[in-house]
Homo-oligomer: A and B are copies of this chain.
Amino acid sequence: MTTTVLDSAAVAAAVVLDPECTLATCRIGLLGLGNVGSAFARLTRDAAPQLTARGFAPIVSTALVRTTSHPRAASAFTSNITADVEEFFAEPVDVIVEALGGVEPAHGLVRRALDRGIPVVTANKSMIAAHGDDLSRLARRRATALRYEASCIAGVPFLGNFERRPLASHASAVTAILNGTSNSILTAMARPSSPIGFAVALAEAQRLGLAEPDPTMDVSGTDAAEKLAILVRLFGCLVIDPASIPLEGIGRIDTGDIAAAAAFDGAIRPIAHASWNGTAVRAFVGPAFVAGTHPLSRISGVTNGIVIRGEYGVQCYTGPGAGPLVTAATLLDDVVELAGERRVRPPSPESSRRAASVARPDTAWFLRLTAARDSDIADLLGSYGIWCTRLARRGDHTFALICPAGYARVQSALAAVEAATRGVAAAFPAIGEDAAC
C-alpha cells in the first residue's frame, strides 16, 4: 500500500528525516482473535482510509490463535492465521499487538517479541501489573517500545502521555474508578425509581453484557487492583504487587448503604486509591463513600475516571473504561503513534523502585451499624478518639461518617460497638471528605 493523500511537501519532509524508513506500511502481528483481537483486526481494515490520509497503512499480516479448528469472522481481515508460535514469529512484522489477556502465555510471547527488538502494544492489565516493570526495562535494553494505553481506562488515552511528560506526571496520589462492571452495578443499585440489591443488579449486568458470566475478577476488586498497580508505577515510580493492595469487593454493599450515602450528600463508588511517600505506599481498592463534591461521585455506569493529584494541580480524566471497540481503537492509536515516531531515547520515567510497604491510608470512614440494643454510638466511638461528622438512623441501621482515622483503630472501635450493641458493624473508606483522598 502507498501513501495517496499526504501532500508531496510532507512526504518529502518525511523522506528527508529518515530516508530508509518510510513506514507507510506497518505490518502487525496480532496475538489473539477473541473479542478484542477480532475488533482490532476489523477496525484496522475499516480505519484504513482515515489512516492513509495521515500516511500510514497498518495491516494485520499475521495472527496467532490457540486453535485454528473453528471458523472465525476475523479471518476476513487477516491473511495469515496460525496456532504455531514458531510460524507466527517467522513472519516479518513491524509491531506486535497482544490481545490474548491473562498473564501467560501472553507474557512469554511479549518477552520474546521485545527481546527481538519488535515493539509491542498490549491491552493486558494482568500482564503489565505483574511484569510491566521488567518488560519495560527489556524494551529499553533492546531499544524498542512497549505500549499499554488500553490496559487502564481503555477509552481515555493518558498513560503514554504522562510517561512522556515528567513534570505533569510528578504526582502524590491517584484516586480512580477503574472497573466499569462494579460501577454499573452500584449505579443500578442506586436507581431512584426501583432500588435493587447486589445480586439482582449483578444478574442484570450479566444480562446486559456488562458483567462476565464469572464476574469474580470485576466485583472482587482484583481487576481494579491490577490497574492501580500500573498507575502507582507510572505516577509514583514504585513497583507494587497487586495482591499486596488492601482489597474489598462490592458484594457487601446493600441498598440501605446507598440510600444513607445519598442522605449524606454522596454516593457509594468502587474506588481504587493510592498515595506514596518515599517507598511507602498507602492504598486500597473497594467500595467507598464519595462526597458529592468529589469529581468521582457523579461518574456512573460503565464510565471510568481518575483524579491525579499532581505537583501543579489536580487533574481529572473520565471516559469509557472498556469494551472491544474502544479497546481496539486505543490499541490502533498506539500502533499509529509507534509508527509515526522513532524514539532517540526510550520512554523511560525515572527508574522505578520496589515499594517497601503497601498499607491502608488513614481515610475518613462510612460506618454501618446494626444494633440489637440501643447504645450511645457517638459516645462509644469518641472513647476511641473517633469523631462523627454525620450520624443518621435509617430503619434498624445506624450510619455515620467519621473523621480520618487508622484502619486498626476503626476496627477496634467497631468491635467495641458490636459488643456493646450486640450488633454487626461495617466500615468503608470515605473520600472527598478531607484533603487526603
Cβ A23 vs Cβ B345 within 8 A: yes
Cβ A16 vs Cβ B143 within 8 A: yes
Whether A140 is near chain B, meaning CB under 8 Å from some CB there, is yes
Within the complex, what minimum Cβ distance (angstroms) separates A352 from chain B?
12
A141 nearest in chain B by CB position: B9
Q: Tell me how many chains of this kind the complex includes.
A: 2
Asked, given contacts A344-B17, A348-B54, whether A312 binds B329 with beta carbons under 8 Å apart, the answer is yes
Cβ A164 vs Cβ B340 within 8 A: yes
Per-residue CB contact flags for chain A residues 324-339 toward chain B (1 = under 8 Å, else 0) read 0110011011001101
A43 to B320: give the CA distance in the assembly, Å: 35
Whether A351 is near chain B, meaning CB under 8 Å from some CB there, is yes
A277 to B162: give the CA distance in the assembly, Å: 32
Within the complex, what minimum Cβ distance (angstroms) separates A292 from chain B?
9
Cβ B168 vs Cβ A17 within 8 A: no
A308 to B165: give the CA distance in the assembly, Å: 22
Task: Enumerate chain B residues within 8 angstroms of A53, measured Cβ to Cβ.
Answer: 350-351
Cβ B18 vs Cβ A344 within 8 A: yes
Q: Which single member of B6, B17, B51 contacts A166 (CB below 8 Å)?
A: B51
Cβ A332 vs Cβ B16 within 8 A: no
A347 nearest in chain B by CB position: B340
Task: Enumerate chain B residues within 8 angstroms of A143, measured Cβ to Cβ.
Answer: 13-14, 16-17
A20 nearest in chain B by CB position: B344
Determine chain A's interface SS by DSSP, over half rule: mixed
Within the complex, what minimum Cβ distance (angstroms) separates A157 from chain B?
5
Cβ A346 vs Cβ B13 within 8 A: yes
Among A51, A53, A333, the most chain B Cβ lie within 10 Å of the Cβ of A333
Task: Enumerate chain B residues within 8 angstroms of A336, measured Cβ to Cβ.
Answer: 164-167
Task: Enumerate chain B residues within 8 angstroms of A379, measured Cβ to Cβ.
Answer: none
Cβ A312 vs Cβ B325 within 8 A: yes
Task: Enumerate chain B residues within 8 angstroms of A330, measured Cβ to Cβ.
Answer: 167-168
Whether A111 is near chain B, meaning CB under 8 Å from some CB there, is no
Task: Enumerate chain B residues within 8 angstroms of A347, measured Cβ to Cβ.
Answer: 340
Whether A4 is near chain B, meaning CB under 8 Å from some CB there, is no
Query: 10 tightest CB-CB pairs across the interface, nearest first?
Result: A313-B320, A315-B319, A13-B143, A165-B333, A167-B329, A161-B161, A312-B326, A316-B318, A53-B350, A14-B345
Interface residues, chain A, CB within 8 Å of chain B? Answer: 5-7, 9-10, 13-14, 16-18, 21, 23, 43, 47, 50-51, 53-55, 140-143, 155-158, 160-162, 164-168, 170, 293, 295, 298, 311-320, 325-326, 329-330, 332-333, 336-337, 339-351
Q: Give me 26 A-to-B residue pairs in the complex whose CB atoms sit less than 8 angstroms apart, sorted by A's number.
A: A9-B140, A9-B141, A10-B345, A10-B348, A13-B140, A14-B143, A17-B143, A17-B345, A21-B344, A50-B167, A50-B170, A50-B350, A54-B166, A54-B345, A54-B348, A155-B312, A157-B168, A168-B329, A168-B333, A295-B318, A313-B319, A314-B320, A315-B320, A340-B344, A341-B341, A342-B344
